[in-house]
Structure 1
Amino acid sequence: MTSASAFLDIAIAIAFLALAAGQILSMVRLVMGPSVGDRILALDTMVINALGVVVVLGIHQGVKVYFEVTLLIAMLGFVSTVALARFILRGDIIE
């Protein structure tokens, strides 16, 4: 094992831990959020953390398909966040 791959393994482990901590803190905000806006932002942050986990997993396994999966998850996360915010503000999604 070369030193470059050892550093990459350490960086990947640190990234997984940081993303896991962010996901846990977002879940806490989702449950304990004082307002609905905080809960929507927590859900959006959880989508972003999930994107990070998938990207780091793709780097770790060396599979390029994961990056295409992240694009799909990002689009679905954006649309769902907008739809949820619109539902909370107006009471309906489609006018």
Structure 2
Amino acid sequence: MSTILLNWAGGFALLCFVLGLACAAIRLIRGPRAEDRILALDTLYINGMLILLVLGLRYEAGLYFDVALLIALFGFVGSAALAKFLLHGEVIEP
């Protein structure tokens, strides 16, 4: 009973994350300002990371967790760089 429930919950979570990914992709394309696009990009990498985590739980594979950790790391660094670029106009100050 619990494995059936876990499979249904994993499928529902994947569906929700894919819908969130699609909404964020639409906002990334149509966003009127750069700030909206950066927030959409943050949402994209977070939803991608969560999809990988659910797949790692579903297939019981550790590689998914490692890739999700890398996505989280690079997504955070990219978000910080984009925010600094929006504030100061450059990422690396001379």
Aligned: 1:19 with 2:2 = no
Runs of 4+, deviation exceeding 4 Å: none
State the distance in 2 between where 1:17 and 1:29 align.
19
**1:65 Cα deviation after fit:** 2.5
TM-score by length of 2: 0.92
Aligned to 1:30: 28
For residues 65 and 36 of structure 1, the distance between their equivalents in structure 2, rounded to whole angstroms, comes to 34
CA positional deviation for 1:77:
0.2
Once the two structures are superposed, the pairs formed by residues 8-87 of structure 1 within 5 Å of their partners are 8-87=6-85
RMSD: 1.0
Count of residues paired in the alignment? 93
Segments of 5+ residues of structure 2 without an aligned counterpart are: none
TM-score, normalised by the number of residues in structure 1: 0.91
| 3-state SS of 1:80 partner | helix
TM superposition shift of 1:52: 0.4
**2:46 is aligned with what amino acid?**
I
Identity %: 43
Q: Which runs of 5+ in 1 are unaligned?
A: none
